[in-house]
Structure 1
């Protein structure tokens, strides 16, 4: 695997190095030792799989509040998405800055998202599937979110937004009361 740091400290675009032969390819997408080299020392406690039917659909921007902050590893296994993270760590020099990258079945990249980040994505194609690994269990009542179109974040989504859940469309805009995670 390759670990390419993003401008937001502790986050990485993770690339696979597949072994290819006449049968196809094989690649590792997690190795405890390789992830330990970037400081990952938590166990994956939950794995999720999402399917999004329409291009332009946005899911996010989601996080869990302390003490349930989580690390995520996200991989697109069908279609393509624009994957976005926002640094919500209150003492970070990149507080409320965002980074986005295309994750697709064809480029095989993943996004490693540290604790204290919000995460979301926009489907760039129809019928997108993502696999998520989480370092914390889902905790109802401990979830939060940022508005996908918050002008103070100014996330540059590649397509017109569509098909937001009621929850995602109703996250409040950021104000002075948001102190971070």
Structure 2
């Protein structure tokens, strides 16, 4: 695997090193030792699969706070998504900055997301499917989030939003929660 750190310290784009032959190709998609060698947490508490019927579907923006803050390792296995992360670590030099990347079944890229990063994505194709490893169990009392269109972040989504959950629409504006403790 090839690890390329994004502009947000600790977040990495992970590319496969395909080994092609006459049958097709082989690649390692996850290796705990390689993650550790890059200073990343290789813990997997859950593996989630998300299926999205329509292009424009948006999921996010979510994160969990301690004691259940979580890492994520995201890969699109069918179609394409635009994946966005926001650094929510108050003492980070990139606090409140975001990074976006297209993850597709064709480019086979993945994104490693550290603890205390908000995460969301938009399906760019119909029938987009995403698999992600999560480093902590889902803990509703520790979940936080903000709206995908919150002006504090100025995230430019690739498509008009066609589908979104009521929960994701009901998050408070970041400005209203900015003083709340993240830890």
Bin of the TM-score, shorter chain as denominator length? over 0.9
- Match of 2:109? 109
How far did residue 41 of structure 1 move?
Answer: 3.7
Q: Please tell me whether the aligned partners of residues 41 and 71 of structure 2 are also in contact (alpha carbons under 8 angstroms).
A: no
How far did residue 37 of structure 1 move?
Answer: 1.4
2:157 is the alignment partner of 1:177: no
User: What secondary structure, in the 3-state scheme, does the structure 2 residue paired with 1:141 have?
Assistant: helix
- Match of 2:129? 129
Q: Which has the higher helix share?
A: 2
- Match of 2:30? 30
Moved more, 101-110 or 170-179: 170-179
User: What secondary structure, in the 3-state scheme, does the structure 2 residue paired with 1:147 have?
Assistant: coil
Cα deviations by residue, 1:8-52 (Å, 9 ceiling, x for unpaired) = 000011000111122111111111121111112442111111100
- Match of 1:148? 148
Aligned residues: 181
In the aligned structure 2, how far is the partner of 1:49 from the partner of 1:27? 20
Q: Please tell me whether the aligned partners of residues 63 and 116 of structure 1 are also in contact (alpha carbons under 8 angstroms).
A: yes
In the aligned structure 2, how far is the partner of 1:104 from the partner of 1:83? 10
TM-score, with structure 2 as normaliser: 0.95
Q: Which runs of 5+ in 2 are unaligned?
A: none
- Match of 1:81? 81
In the aligned structure 2, how far is the partner of 1:162 from the partner of 1:110? 24
In the aligned structure 2, how far is the partner of 1:165 from the partner of 1:59? 7
TM-score, with structure 1 as normaliser: 0.96
User: What secondary structure, in the 3-state scheme, does the structure 1 residue paired with 2:168 have?
Assistant: helix
